[in-house]
Structure 1
Amino acid sequence: MIPVAFDYSRPAGVDEAVQTLTDAGEDAKVLAGGQSLIPMLRLRFAAPSMLVDLGSIGEMHGVREDGDDLVIGAMTTHDEVLKNPLIRAHAPLIAQATATVADRQVRHLGTFGGSLAHADPAGDMPSVATALDATFEIAGPSGRRSVAASEFFVDYLTSALEPDEVLVSVRVPKLAGWGTHYEKFNRVAQAWALVGVAAAVRRNNGTIEEARVALTNMASKPVRAHGVEEALAGAPATAESLAAACDHAAEGTEPTSDASASADYRTHLATVLTRRALESAAGI
């Protein structure tokens, strides 16, 4: 199909982008990598009066260190994220998950920030950002504000971003001494995850000091598996401890039933995949 007619703007800076969105009103849409928006335009599931293309805003590209954090520009492509040495060294969970995103063509066009702002619970990046306690820098008419990942994802395809706001960058704490792994299950290669698990584990002398686990596609937004995290805190780093903790994986989740999988099957997958992710992250 052919999209409805729309105006197009390619601002040179964040302030200009915010002003353009403000002037255009709620019918405007931000264009990042376009890997989710373009199909919606073609099917007329989205019919914006204005597209605001963020591709020329230099501030929103690249990865840099800032003390104990990494700052990832929202317009940094998945391919750039995957190959970035800072991310591989200090936030390997992001690289591990990014390697599973769709295919090479999508990773060369799709953006880190775009996948987060889209807030699809079946997407890989929202659960990773949640597990890493990332912070989102957002620019709007009133200036800039920071929003924690736990508050950024609100509901299905709904984030804390207002229509006249732009996600500028994502701040991720460096995880020195942690083991990480991203595990997901999908029906066919390059498909959305039926369920995914982002796991990070910090060990010390045979004991798990801390674990972080976030689930993909087990609710209308990313879910932290707090029951698993609490069960592992101070537990011996053994396969038996992990297996017992993973019995709590689906607590607090609201999996859906659809043409791809039933809610019961997703609940089973959450337990199995959480154990696999934790075993890899903990080196067990």
Structure 2
Amino acid sequence: MITTRTVEANGFRFAVDEAGQGDRLALCLHGFPESRYSWRHQMPLLAGLGYRAWAPDLRGYGDTTPRPQDVASYRIDRLVDDVAALIDASGAREVTLLAHDWGALVAWTFAADRVRPLKQLVIMNVPHPAVFARVIRTSPAQRKRSWYVAFFQLPWLPERMMTARRAQAIRRAFHGMAVDKSRFPDEVLDRYAANALRPGAMRAMINWYRAAVRYRVQDRQWPAIETPTLIVWGEEDAALGLETLEGTEAFVRDLRIERLPGVSHWVQQEAPERVNAILEGWLRS
């Protein structure tokens, strides 16, 4: 059973979906333009494995308040601070971090900097930042795939276009990119569109991208991650090529990569049965 609670942390009131009990926390971080709802298929599994699963609406998203409108509020260090504060608020003795898309970039940074001890790290469809920085410099194909990041640097226009016609662009982001489109029926798309149409939400969501470029998130040294790490990757990702996986082992001491053919960027929503089987086997081991 999934319930929703409010967790006060780092000056925010985070809306958090919760399943399971105990002091082993599985903290699930969503991406763009998602919400805590994106982990709906994994929450019961994690609870069944003995975790207390938390899936928060991250800063600027969904039911979490307040919703800052300035770019600086979405610097990576402030997003990492949110994760640390959520872990502290949980009182957990052991933490497994699961993350997708933008949440995964936060998770990579959190694990590399050892902000809090982690038992395990699960990353879905976002490369290690150092690998991505190398690929974006050398791959014209990846620069073409990442065109939207440059578009999001423009003022006001991205917000206007993403929310036009009842957030039709948000709906297309899921349904259009998905391989198995049946996984994104109207009731799912309606939920993400409604979140994007909240006052100030689209600006907040896009400000994650603006802050990443403005504050040069990739320009840093990356210490090796000691935490055992699983990467689950849908191979039909329209935004990120498979070359962004190459060389990850240089930054992660204990790494396993599971690639899923015929699955898009929205891997845990589009192929939940396959993803959950991988998760269960790896977490049990």
TM range (shorter): under 0.3
Larger fraction in helix: 2
TM-score by length of 2: 0.26
> Whose relative contact order is higher, 1 or 2, with alpha carbons under 8 Å and at least 6 apart?
2
Structure with the bigger percentage of strand: 1
Q: TM-score, structure 1 length as denominator?
A: 0.26
| Greater radius of gyration (CA) | 1
